[in-house]
Amino acid sequence: MKDTFYRLSEEKRLNLINSCIKEFSKNTYDNTSLNSIITEAKISKGGLFKYIENKRDLYLYIISLIMKNIIKYQSRNVDMSIRCYFDRLNALLDCGFDYYKNHELEFRVMLNAFYDLSSPCHEDVMLIRKELIKTYQMDLLEDIDWSQYKENKKNILKISEYIIDGYNLAFIRKLELNYSVEELEKVMKSDLDLIINTIKTAVKG
């Protein structure tokens, strides 16, 4: 985003952000329309391009913003007294679904983003997710008791990342855009509980 975007008043900035979320919640990247955003935000096309470089720039900003919102929500709400990595991971997943239940449009934006494997932005979306998880991982994994496992922390994190990312990719390929938050939670949590508990059993000392 251009510097002028960050110099907008909070009201105008939020108005533009909410207009983008509304449009991106309805369509995958290729089908989204800057004209719809302009109409919703009540600004001119020239006005919009004072704040953004292009549609891709705007889209990835919104994706990054939503992901940060989810991680911040998890940081504030997860039970940090849980000292088992796998139980904390499950609690983080639960917090993520709780966030989506109260932010339906953001849920639709992310559903579209992950579903659309052919999008020119898909690799960037996955990279943003990976980098944000890495950035916040130290905070979210604070005070885990790693001594209870026979594998070391580095290997546990690597194994978990590979297996869960593999599951996520396989799930995306059969994802349905008409899922509700509750339906997605039911399907994914059942599978992820099995995966997480299997790894937990394997590395438990």
**Amino acid making up residue 33:** S
Q: How far is CA 112 from CA 23, 24, 32, 180, in A?
A: 11, 8, 11, 13
Average pLDDT, the chain: 93
Q: Which residues of 75-101 are buried (b: 16+ CB within 10 A; e: fewer)?
A: eeebeeebebbbebbbbbbbbbbbbbe
What's this model's pTM, rounded to 2 decimal places? 0.91
- Cα(109)–Cα(193) distance, integer angstroms: 25
Do 78 and 95 contact (CB within 8 A), yes or no? Answer: yes
Q: Angle of helix 55-77 relative to helix 122-140, nearest 10 degrees?
A: 20
State pLDDT tens for residues 104-155: 999 999 999 998 889 999 999 999 998 998 888 888 889 999 999 999 999 9
Q: What is the pLDDT of residue 204?
A: 86
Q: Each residue of 154-176: pLDDT tens digit?
A: 999 999 999 998 998 889 888 88
Radius of gyration of the chain (CA): 19
CB 22, CB 105: distance < 8 Å: yes
Over range 45-59, report the average pLDDT.
94
Poorest-pLDDT segment among 13-17, 89-93, 131-135: 131-135
Beta partners for residue 149, in sequence order:
204
Question: Position of tokens 């996955």?
Answer: 126
CB-neighbour burial class of residue 163 (10 A; exposed 0-12, middle 13-18, buried 19+): middle
SS3 204: strand
